[in-house]
Structure 1
Amino acid sequence: MPYRSSLQRIRIWDLPTRIFHILLALSVAGLVITGEVGGNAMQLHFLLGYGVLTLVLFRLVWGWVGGHWSRFVQFVPTPSMLLSYVQSMRKKRTLNTVGHNPLGALSVLAMLVVLLFQVLSGLTSDDEISNAGPWTSLVPSDWVAIATEYHSEIGKVLLIVLVVLHVGTVLYYKRIKQDDLITPMLTGDKMLPLGTHDSRDTLTSRLFALSILIGCAYLVYRLVNLS
């Protein structure tokens, strides 16, 4: 453990990444609640779904051009990195990481993939009562049936399981391993050794992120209105 005097406050998570994380968490919670309530709440459910698709597309782009530690190349683990991390956990050794640790990185990727499939299947779902996704008229009926079953039975369960595992892991690291993952995601900063690479988080980069978000929102609008 470095001496405290050798540590400094480093910007790890840029503001766009932090806002994305908060908005995604709120939107997913809203999706689960409105999906369970049904009825008139389904209108909000659809809007939240479009919002989640916008956020996921934004994160996929930001994973290439965002702040240093938000880029996929900085946190997606190689097999050897993952194996080394698992072995360190088995030996109860602490392997310090700056951004996402290897298991956390896999969790992020899994969440993005499941959310993407969940939203896309929702666009093609039809409950045969009063709610149908905007793509149901564009694909064969058997595709609609498959998408509907996945969206309401499989994808929903996968998403809830991932969310529970994610929250549980964060609490485990905070309580047991004394590694606070929550505060850095809220403030953006973390106490790290001198010379640690920081993430670009300037007004220009934030405006750039906003332009990407607007572009993703427009793309989702066009996708939703294909029919």
Structure 2
Amino acid sequence: MHTVRVWDLPTRLFHWALVVCVIGQIVTANVGGNWMNWHLRLGYTVLTLLLFRLVWGFVGGHWSRFSSFLYGPTAVLNYLRGQARPEHRVGHNPLGAFSVFGLLTILLLQVGSGLFSDDEIAFTGPLVSLVSGDAVSLATSYHKNVGKFIVLALVVLHLLAIGYYRFSKKENLVRPMIVGDKQVPTAVPSARDSTQSRLLALGVLCLCALVVYGLVGLGATSGF
């Protein structure tokens, strides 16, 4: 067995920060009232994290890059037939890749729709002044009545998949996301996880936060 650094520290911190923020958003959305202020703040944080992950998918560690788990139809079919390649047991396998891309897409849609939502009670997105009333109504309807249930469904499926791999395939997917390393039967590249790469991640995160700050400020300067 070979010890491989699969998940670099920035990827691990992103993952658990996103978990905490999504749970917080679900809770604050259901509690309502003054907690909606925290719902907004957590939404900005989630958007910052998602933008970071999109950038990190191109410049991060080997197994965090999209190129390492961007599979074609043939690879997916072979995996489902039990013909997995060695690298499928290291980072995201073809099914896990679908989960990652699906979660990123749905969370971006949910946060994006929230920016343009207005429930006329306790929640008003910062960018509602930039679009028409019909667009605000559409975004609000999706955010409240569609998107949040898709997010919940994907979260449940994600947890079920983790449980399935843990108890059926005897593969612990959680531990590598905590410690970073994984025991694999074949020699594969380790993810870069140096001081320089971590500083790069910090710089990327700060830039993403500035982008979100500017985006939110755009609504304020447009008369909202």
TM-score (normalizing by structure 2): 0.94
Q: Name the residue aligned to 1:158.
A: 150
Q: Name the residue aligned to 1:86.
A: 80
The whole-number CA distance in structure 2 between the counterparts of 1:162 and 1:136 is: 27
User: Which aligned segments of 4 or more residues in structure 1 are displaced greater than 3 angstroms?
Assistant: 93-96
The whole-number CA distance in structure 2 between the counterparts of 1:49 and 1:165 is: 22
The whole-number CA distance in structure 1 between the counterparts of 2:178 and 2:48 is: 21
Instruction: Work out which of the residue numbers 175, 194, 198 in structure 1 matches 2:190.
Output: 198
The whole-number CA distance in structure 1 between the counterparts of 2:167 and 2:184 is: 20
The whole-number CA distance in structure 2 between the counterparts of 1:195 and 1:85 is: 20
- Are 1:8 and 2:2 matched, yes or no? yes
Bigger Cα displacement from structure 2, 122-131 vs 12-21: 122-131
Instruction: Give the drift of 1:129.
Output: 1.7
Change (3 A) 1:172 1:27: same
Bigger Cα displacement from structure 2, 60-69 vs 185-194: 185-194
Q: Is the 8 A contact 2:126 2:216 kept in 1?
A: yes
Q: Name the residue aligned to 2:18.
A: 24
The whole-number CA distance in structure 1 between the counterparts of 2:25 and 2:99 is: 20
Per the alignment, in what secondary structure is the counterpart of residue 222 of structure 1? helix
- Are 1:218 and 2:210 matched, yes or no? yes
The whole-number CA distance in structure 2 between the counterparts of 1:130 and 1:40 is: 8
Instruction: Give the drift of 1:193.
Output: 3.6
Q: Name the residue aligned to 2:34.
A: 40
Per the alignment, in what secondary structure is the counterpart of residue 155 of structure 2? helix
Aligned residues: percent identity? 51
Q: Name the residue aligned to 2:65.
A: 71
Instruction: Give the drift of 1:194.
Output: 5.3
Structure 1: segments with no counterpart, 5+ residues: 1-6
Counting only pairs closer than 5 Å after superposition, residues 63-142 of structure 1 correspond to structure 2 as 63-88=57-82, 96-142=88-134
The whole-number CA distance in structure 1 between the counterparts of 2:165 and 2:186 is: 24
Structure 2: segments with no counterpart, 5+ residues: 220-224
Q: Name the residue aligned to 1:60.
A: 54
Q: Name the residue aligned to 1:187.
A: 179
Instruction: Give the drift of 1:83.
Output: 1.0
Bigger Cα displacement from structure 2, 141-150 vs 127-136: 127-136
The whole-number CA distance in structure 1 between the counterparts of 2:155 and 2:186 is: 34
Q: Which amino acid aligns with 1:175?
A: F
Q: Is the 8 A contact 2:89 2:184 kept in 1?
A: no
Per the alignment, in what secondary structure is the counterpart of residue 85 of structure 1? helix
Aligned alpha-carbon RMSD (Å): 1.4
Q: Which amino acid aligns with 1:158?
A: I
Q: Is the 8 A contact 1:118 1:155 kept in 2?
A: yes
Q: Is the 8 A contact 1:88 1:94 kept in 2?
A: no
Per the alignment, in what secondary structure is the counterpart of residue 130 of structure 2? coil
Q: Deviations over 1:111-168 (max 9, x none)?
A: 0000000001000000012321011111000000000000001000000000000011
Instruction: Give the drift of 1:94.
Output: 9.5
The whole-number CA distance in structure 2 between the counterparts of 1:193 and 1:178 is: 15
Instruction: Give the drift of 1:8.
Output: 2.2
The whole-number CA distance in structure 2 between the counterparts of 1:51 and 1:182 is: 23
Per the alignment, in what secondary structure is the counterpart of residue 210 of structure 1? helix
